[in-house]
Homo-oligomer: A and B are copies of this chain.
Amino acid sequence: MAETTTTTAIPELTQYLERLLAAGNYDAVKQLLEPEQPADAAEAIGNLPTLQQAIAFRLLPKNEAIEVYEYLDATVQQSLLERLRSGEVLELVEQMSPDDRVRLFDELPAKVVRNLLQQLSPEERRVTAQLLGYETETAGRLMTTEFIDLKEFHSASQALTIVRRRALTTETIYSLYVTDAARQLTGILSLRDLVVADPEDLIGAVMTREVVRVHTDTDQEEVARLIKRYDFLALPVVDREDRLVGIVTVDDVIDVIEQEATRDLYAAGAVQAGDEDDYFQSNLFEVAKRRVLWLLVLLITNTGTSAVIASQQGVLQRVVQLAAFIPLLIGTGGNVGAQSSTVVIRGLSTNRLQALGPWRTVGREALAGVLLGLLLAAVVVPWSWQLSGEPLVAVAAGVSMLCISILAATAGASLPLLFDQLGLDPALMSAPFITTVVDVAGVFIYLQTAAWLLSHLGANG
């Protein structure tokens, strides 16, 4: 897989750096790091022993150091801060993009953050404090305050001069924003529009007035959805007075999309997702903590199965062969329910469900439950008959397989939709929970069916 692409082999790079640093050949370290992509340099430096990290980092050219720093893991960023001289630290933090700085501050102890904030220049301090004031996972937290704003009365050539002047200190120059005297957003244009415009054209005539914008408190999932839908490179963020305060760029949105996918997947696996996708960096007790809550919830729900079986012990005592098919029936029913909840939860988060609407979605799943239940019953009946030698067991297994399958598909589709309607996270109703609910209901259906058959047919083989 890796050999079709021209990218750096990080383990090798790390190894060479380590060797050269140990030998004190700092020129060679510079020569090795210089042509690397910042992301690769950051990963290699992050892999070095802590003591060497600071040395290697200091060898980077100043303008590249900032970029590399922004790509480092939060833990490495933090340990570097402790090892660099306070002058170096300040310069670094001062020059980071505001959004990356805020992400770093989120990880640092409050005392360190207060200390650093005090030392920043007034402008950077203001911006940082502002971003820190927004709720996490909102557009305000995700945005950068570095963008290029133009005025409608600028000519295209004036605008191009402004872009040139600010190109090196601005995160993106490809989306340009037009504001009025009150700093309210009145239009946008792309650098492409500007480049093809006649130099004499006024910005007001070239720009687009219909601007898709979000508010500082818009959820980051919604921001991602919009950028994805419209294929934007950036999206403007306005405050309550519609003043332009920042922009969110597509690279941050890719991280959001991946983070949300991890969260959905973890929910589907009954793992509580942390704020950061740092499962493999946390210690064992942290790992257990993130798993035990869900396990206990599911365990307690599942005690319902024991209670149901214990209350029906008479039936089992009369036909002990019934027990052999309990795991099979509830396990298979659980899988049907897991399928339904999976497609519905994913459909909700990718917005593909909108066209169908909740009622038709549940109806379709219920019908799928009937169809799948009939197919599964067709396998279960002969198998259970053959293994138990009891027609009664086979009939009970077949009937309950069908009922369980319908119930599982319906519950799997409707519970996430219900949670969504109530404004709760539909992922709480993901596969593990649905499966457990189906376990309890399934055992009940199976043993009740068997009891009914026993009492009405009076048969015992």
Interface positions of A (Cβ within 8 A of B)? 1, 4-7, 35-37, 39, 47, 160, 163-164, 167-168, 173-174, 191-192, 195-196, 209-215, 217-219, 222, 226-231, 233, 250-251, 253-255, 257-258, 261-262, 264-266, 268-271, 277, 279-280, 284-285, 287-288, 291-292, 294-296, 298-300, 302-303, 305-307, 309-310, 313, 316-317, 320-321, 323-328, 330-332, 334-336, 338-339, 341-343, 345-347, 350, 352-353, 355-356, 361, 364, 367-368, 371-372, 375-376, 379-380, 383-384, 387-388, 431-432, 435-436, 439, 443
Contacts and interface: CB of A to CB of B under 8 A. Distances in A.
Contact of A305 (B229, B254, B320, B327): B327
B268 A269 contact: yes
Nearest to A229: B39
A272 to B, nearest CB: 10
21 contacts: A5-B218, A35-B210, A37-B210, A167-B195, A191-B195, A228-B254, A250-B251, A261-B261, A268-B269, A277-B350, A279-B347, A280-B356, A284-B368, A288-B372, A295-B332, A299-B376, A302-B332, A306-B384, A316-B323, A317-B320, A338-B431
B371 A338 contact: no
Nearest to A173: B192
A291 B213 contact: no
B306 A383 contact: yes
A299 B6 contact: no
Contacts of A307: 324, 387
Contacts of A383: 303, 306
Given A5-B215, A327-B330, 11 more contacts: A6-B212, A37-B230, A254-B257, A257-B261, A258-B350, A270-B339, A284-B371, A309-B324, A320-B320, A331-B436, A335-B436
A316 B296 CA distance: 27
A324 B306 contact: yes
A163 B160 CA distance: 15
Contact of A342 (B195, B266, B303, B384): B266
B350 A328 contact: no
B302 A5 contact: no
A188 B87 CA distance: 35
B302 A328 contact: yes
A223 B166 CA distance: 31
A5 B222 contact: yes
A224 to B, nearest CB: 9
A219 B309 contact: no
Contacts of A7: 212, 226
A364 B280 CA distance: 9
A320 to B, nearest CB: 5
Contacts of A174: 174, 191-192, 233
Contact of A257 (B257, B299, B380): B257
Contacts of A346: 262, 265-266
Contact of A310 (B211, B324, B376): B324
Contact of A291 (B196, B210, B339): B339
A404 to B, nearest CB: 12
Nearest to A323: B323
A212 to B, nearest CB: 6
A360 to B, nearest CB: 9
B302 A331 contact: yes
A343 B376 contact: no
Contact of A261 (B264, B288, B299): B264
A268 B270 contact: no
A1 B356 CA distance: 20
Contact of A368 (B196, B291, B356): B291
A440 B345 CA distance: 29
A4 B138 CA distance: 11
Given A163-B195, A310-B387, A228 B258 contact: yes
B327 A270 contact: no
Contacts of A253: 254
B335 A164 contact: no
B295 A164 contact: no
A335 B231 contact: no
A335 B250 contact: no
Nearest to A167: B196
